[in-house]
Structures are given as C-alpha cells and as structure tokens.
Chains A and B, each alone.
Chain A
C-alpha cells in the first residue's frame, strides 16, 4: 500500500523556461482545452491509485504483473505524456507548427496509454469484493439483446483479443449514437475514441504482452479466459447507466 501512495496526485507547474518571455499564448492555451489549460501552467496527468492491492487479483493476475504494470508501465505513460504536453505548450507558444505536429504521435501513444490503463484498473476487482459477478441491471439486458448472452460476449472478446496482432486492447463499447453495444479492438495504445467519437468504453482488456507475460507467457488465450474472474461488471454497469440515462 505504501508504494501506491508514492505515485498519487503529483502536479507540476511549468518551468518558466518553457515559456518564452512576453509571448501571449492565450490562443495556444485555448486550443489545449479547458480541462488542461490554466493561467500559469498545465494540469498534468497523474498515476491513479489502485483501489485494491497488487496481489488482490491473484491467482487470475499475479501481484508482480500488477506491480510492474501499474508502477512501471502506466507510470511511464504518465511521465512521457506530461513531458510531451510541456513540449507541446512550448511549441504552441512559439508558434512552432512543425514541433506541434511532431509531438502528436507521442501524445497519442502516451496519453492513450494513460487513458486506457486508468479505465483498465477500474474494470478489475478482487473476487471477494465482487470481481467476476455477472452484470444484472440494464447492462445485463443490453448484453443479452446485442450478443445473445454474456457467454457469447465473452467468447467474442476472447476471440478478438487473441487474434489481435501485436499489442493493443479489446473493448466492450457503448455506441451512444446507435444505443448499441459493440466489441472493438484498438492497436497499441490507441484509445477507444479513435474508433469513433460516439464510442464510450465500458470495459477494456489490455492484451499487450506486459499484461500477462510473466504469468501466462505466450498463451494469451489463457490470460483472456482467466481475466473474467476479476472483471468488475459493476463499474461497467454504472458507466452504461450514466451514459444511457
């Protein structure tokens, strides 16, 4: 538990070195979006705390995997995203369009990594706290309607997750436009929104090798089979209800 708290809620203020003196960067700040811009600095991303211990998902996911995944991988996405944002703000302030464009891939990758993992941790829950309990409420009905049954959905996500080449994610998404559930995959750290502006992530499963390799080695299907034992359907249901209300 102590280790986890080390990584919570850091906030950086931009060093003045990144801001050329006397450059009015109002326009640039607006482009960053209201959630990010402040008068004197960026609100940076922070590694979220896990709502359970690293070992609490065993035996489905080992404590060692959870520790590395959270402390190292997610932390690296957060750090690199923040670095890229600082550089972006400087580039915008200087009107350096080339630099702004060049930073896009790092922002997409690391920002995506931060977004995806933040969702992923909420999708998991220890068995003794309700992990693996099937969804009841309206999400349960929607799954039956759109996929036939929960088993059919699980099978579909396992198949698509296993077939995904390289690194990426498999998602249960709500398409807000069509009010319909769909299964999507994204490559690398592309967040779900890259597949459609109407898509809301209810459940994301990380199929990067770092998510399972220490325990499952090359057998990704076994990881996919076991992860359902610690899926927090309550979280997915809450998001679904909020988005369909």
Chain B
C-alpha cells in the first residue's frame, strides 16, 4: 500500500510559506539546493495507476468511468503540470510542495489546479478498493466516535459536505492538528487531544494540505467522477462510495501517519521554543525592542 505522507522533497514542511516576493517563474534556486532529493532536476511527475484493475470496482464504479476519470482527466493534469513547471523552479520539487507553493497563500499560480488535481486523484484512487466499505476499527473508530459522536454521524456529515459542495470539488475527512500558524504565540499545553478529525469540503481543485490539514479520505464530487454511472444522482454515488468502495484500511494507515507526524512536529516546535528561550535569555534586553530586526532573525 502506498501512502501520501506529507513529507516531501527532503522533509520540507508542506506549510512552508513561500517568500513574500514570490513569483512562480522566479522561484529561487537556493530553495532547492538545500534539499538533497531535488538532485533529480527536471524529473517528470508520473501518472500513478490505481492499485487495482480498472474494471475491479464494478458495478459501483464502471471501467468506463475509470478509463475517462483516470485515463483522461487524471492523465491530462499530469501532462499539464509537467508542461507548466518545466524549466521553472517548481521542477524537481515533490508534489506536496508544488501544491502548497503554487497555492501561493490563496492566489493560486497556474500550475496549482493541475498539481492539486494530481495529488487529489492519486489520493482518491488509493482511498477506494474493490470490496471496500464496512466499518473502521481500532484507533480510527475511537477517534471518529470521540469527534463525531458516532460512525453514522460522521458518515452523515461527510455526505452532507459532499452534497452541499455547490459545483465541482471534493469532500474530505481530515486530521486537524491544532497548531497556531503564527510565530509569536504558542499553545501553552499542547496535547494530542487538541487534534481532531474534521469533515470539510473544498471547491474545484483545492486540497486541505494548503490549510495544513492532514487528509485521511477524499471523495471527488466533480460530475465527471459519477456522471457516466449515476448521471445527476450525486447522492447515490456518495452513498455507494461509503458503503461499497471506501478503504477504511487506507484511512486508518493515513491516520497513523498523521498522528505520528503531528507528534513529530510538536516535538520540533518544543525544541525550537526551548532554543528561542535560550536565545532570548542570552540576548541583551535592548534587542527585544527592535521589532523588525528580531522578527526577521526569529523567523528562521
């Protein structure tokens, strides 16, 4: 089983903010030189095949749907992405990083839609399997019950998100690590209990990693995902997806990675905080009033 962990390109955080003066055609080469795996310059991103045959999801999702959805839509996004990033400094980054960087804090650059749709579709194919459905167990089920009250209520919320995404888009189950995305504030007593499973929806190509969430499950609610099999009946498609296709094993494995990742980041934050404290205690008091200078140095 393959997973998308959110680590990419030498361990760069997906939340790494792009420089303020960011232009996608002028991404600084230095960014990449620091990252060993980026040695593969001009690496073409590849179209990943679903981990099952195209007809094996029938009758719930037809071979024809997969031939178009994977064979045309997904493939076209891979080709467009490779075209757009060729020769730019996005070339050679990991897909996660391309998604986050090209999202450009909400002013998406041209490659974003393709990068995000490649990510989303890779993730979607790995979210389902022949003979899927049923109920999750173990830690996943515990957290679902903790955060939604019951499995059925989570399903209800997921369906509602999928049905009320007006237009094209996605519905998600994500793991939300409760971080404060600002440099000058800390969660005074961080704990695993701050982290939550959350259902959300996103328009068109938008992927929750741009909001620093860790996706666990996704359903594509672009009409091309279900129109050949279900025509206008999105509700039927969403129900069948949950009853017959979803791979709770994949979701469960992703949750393990998400929890581990969140813990790792909490440790990194703690270490950084201790280093900062040490740095502040060693610095002269007057420096603390030099706002802009200290901000710059502390941002590193």
A interface residues, Cβ below 8 angstroms from B:
68, 72-73, 76, 105, 109, 165-168, 187-189, 208-210, 213-214, 217-218
Contact = CB atoms under 8 A, between A and B. Distances in A.
B22 interface: no
A209 B223 contact: yes
Contact of B222 (A166, A168, A189): A166
B167 A218 contact: no
Contacts of B231: 68, 72, 214
B72 A167 contact: no
Given A165-B113, A165-B205, A217 B232 contact: no
B224 A214 contact: no
Interface in B183-223: 203-205, 222-223
A188 B223 CA distance: 12
B166 A105 contact: yes
Contacts, number: 53
A218 B166 contact: no
Given A208-B167, A218-B72, 8 more contacts: A105-B166, A187-B167, A208-B223, A209-B222, A213-B223, A213-B224, A214-B227, A218-B68
B167 A73 contact: no
Interface string B95-131: 0000000000000000001000000000000000000
Interface residues of B, number: 19
A166 B204 contact: yes
Contacts of A72: 231-232
B263 interface: no
B73 interface: yes
A168 B223 contact: no
Contacts of A168: 167
Which of A187, A208, A213 has the largest number of chain B CB atoms within 10 A? A213
Contacts of B228: 213-214
B133 interface: no
Contact of B168 (A105, A109, A167, A214): A167
A188 B166 contact: yes
16 contacts: A68-B232, A76-B232, A105-B166, A167-B167, A167-B168, A189-B167, A208-B167, A209-B222, A209-B224, A210-B227, A210-B232, A213-B224, A213-B227, A213-B228, A214-B228, A218-B224
B76 A218 contact: yes
B232 A166 contact: no
B192 to A, nearest CB: 33
A187 B204 CA distance: 10
Contacts of B136: none
Nearest to A209: B223
A111 B135 CA distance: 38
A76 B223 CA distance: 15
A165 B223 CA distance: 13
B73 A218 contact: yes
Contact of B167 (A188, A213, A217): A188
B167 to A, nearest CB: 4
B169 interface: yes
A156 to B, nearest CB: 19
B110 to A, nearest CB: 10
A217 B113 CA distance: 19
A8 B258 CA distance: 53
Contacts of A109: 166
Contacts of A105: 166
B72 A73 contact: no
Contacts of B232: 68, 72-73, 76, 210
Contacts of A188: 166-167
A167 to B, nearest CB: 4
B72 to A, nearest CB: 4
A210 B223 CA distance: 7
Nearest to A105: B166
A67 B294 CA distance: 65
A168 B68 CA distance: 21
B168 A166 contact: yes
B158 to A, nearest CB: 19
Nearest to A110: B166
A27 B222 CA distance: 41
Contacts of B169: 166
Nearest to A75: B232
A189 B68 contact: no
Contacts of B167: 166-168, 187-189, 208
A165 B111 CA distance: 12
Contacts of A208: 167, 223
A120 to B, nearest CB: 16
A152 B74 CA distance: 31
A117 B169 CA distance: 21
A214 B227 CA distance: 8
Nearest to B233: A72
B39 to A, nearest CB: 33
Given A73-B232, A214-B228, A167 B223 contact: yes
